[in-house]
Amino acid sequence: MAVIRATAQDIAKLAGVSQTTVSLVLNDVPNARISKDVRRRVREVAKSLDYHPNASAQSLRRRKTRTIGLVIPDSKNPHFWQITEGVERKAAERGYNVLLGSTDLGFDRERLILQSLKQQQIDGLIVQVQFPSKSLREIQAYGHSVVRIGAFSVELDGVVPDYSVGCTMLMEHLVGLGHRRIGFVFGTTAPGLPQPEVGLGQDRLLAYWRAVTEHHLVRDAELVQCCGPRPDDAREATRRLLALEHRPSAIISINDYLAFPVIKTIMEAGLRVPKDISVAGFDDVSLAQYLSPALTTVRANAEMLGEKAVELLLRRLENQGMPPQHLTVPASLVVRESTEVYTAVAAWEA
């Protein structure tokens, strides 16, 4: 008679936990936020069922493939390609190949990639997308080390640009030019996706509101227009800003990729950049300097972000027991032609 082997699903059902939790406990994944009581319960159930993991599958997962997975959110945004260049260069230096995938800002695509990643024969994963921390922990449970670019999670390694400081510098620049009513096109989340965790744009938004308070600027919730991350979303958000009774004299875009349609929309409305409205972005993509007018932006070395992520991932592969590492790439302000002194004084500002 054939012996029916117990599975992780059986353990999860009897222990009253998810299969992900079972995998995290039985694989001793470091830094997994699971209570001692749950760990004990899972192990006791596993022992009572005489559970033994599939040794060949474990061996296959743990064998070095010298391949790193990289997932970007949007293959059209040049900023992510700059980061990809850094990842590929550093990986090649260390003898690794890079397996690249893009969610193209789609929720269904994101879920498909997440499922696929659990089975991929890769040594580790670098993600630049809005996978929630819970989903990334599921990938960890399958034996993959994870490094996140653009957001910090307590239990995950991460690399971020210091855009909080960068936004503060940008706001001080605009205030110094005389701007008091500053709009923000906050394009971070595609329809159907959850709001981003702290770090995915939230650092810039917090710095914006902090500067509004510190410099006693006009505080108006309508000046922050939340929208999706596509160019058409930014155009619609810009139209809403221009339709305000008191429109802003300057507009910040969450990134350069969306700053381009912001400028186009302003010009289509018969207004001039920067004569009527100043515009600035983040990332300093290569096209920013060639735009007319050339774009004022906050720069953090994108290729360095990619390189640091690879270094951090390889360090994690060598030492699974080390606590989560968080690295920051400094930001700087690049002043170009799209911002200038604001001289008009409206009656409501007097």
Half-sphere exposure at residue 27, Cβ-oriented, CA atoms within 13 angstroms = 28
What does the alpha-carbon distance between residue 16 and residue 45 come to, in Å, rounded to a whole number? 10
* Percent of the chain whose pLDDT exceeds 70: 85
Residue 342 has pLDDT above 70, yes or no: yes
Judge contact between 227 and 186, C-beta under 8 A: yes
Residues in the chain: 350
What tokens does 227 get?
Answer: 């929208």
Strand 124-127 and strand 157-161: pairing? unpaired
pLDDT band at 292 (very low <50, low <70, confident <90, very high): very high
Place of tokens 């390609």: 81
Q: Kindly give, in sequence order, each residue whose CB lies less than 8 Å from that of residue 335, ignoring residues fewer than 6 positions away.
A: 173, 296
What does the domain layout of the chain look like in residue ranges? 8-53, 63-160+302-329, 163-301+333-349
Paired with 59 in beta bridges are none
Judge contact between 167 and 204, C-beta under 8 A: yes
pLDDT tens string 20-76: 788 778 776 655 678 888 888 988 988 888 887 654 455 455 567 889 999 998 889
Average pLDDT estimate for 200-219: 93
Average pLDDT estimate for 334-347: 84
* CATH 3.40.50.2300 for the 163-301+333-349 domain, yes or no: yes
The lowest-confidence range among 84-93, 261-270, 294-303, 336-345 is: 336-345
Integer angstrom CA distances of residue 24 from 42, 138, 208, 313, 323: 10, 8, 39, 19, 16
Judge contact between 148 and 137, C-beta under 8 A: no
pLDDT at 59: 47
pLDDT at 179: 97
Residue 2 has pLDDT above 60, yes or no: no
Q: Which fold has domain 63-160+302-329?
A: Rossmann fold (3.40.50)
Average pLDDT estimate for 274-290: 97
pLDDT at 225: 96
pLDDT tens string 232-264: 999 999 999 999 999 999 999 999 999 999 999
Question: CA angle at residue 278 from 275 to 281, to 5 degrees?
Answer: 150
- Determine if the peptide bond prior to 293 is cis (ω within 30°): yes
Residue 112 has pLDDT above 90, yes or no: no
* CATH 1.10.260.40 for the 8-53 domain, yes or no: yes
42/304: higher pLDDT: 304
pLDDT band at 347 (very low <50, low <70, confident <90, very high): very low
Q: Are 8-53 and 63-160+302-329 the same fold in CATH?
A: no
Judge contact between 141 and 119, C-beta under 8 A: no
Judge contact between 96 and 123, C-beta under 8 A: yes
24/119: higher pLDDT: 24
Alpha carbon 177 to its chain's center? 31
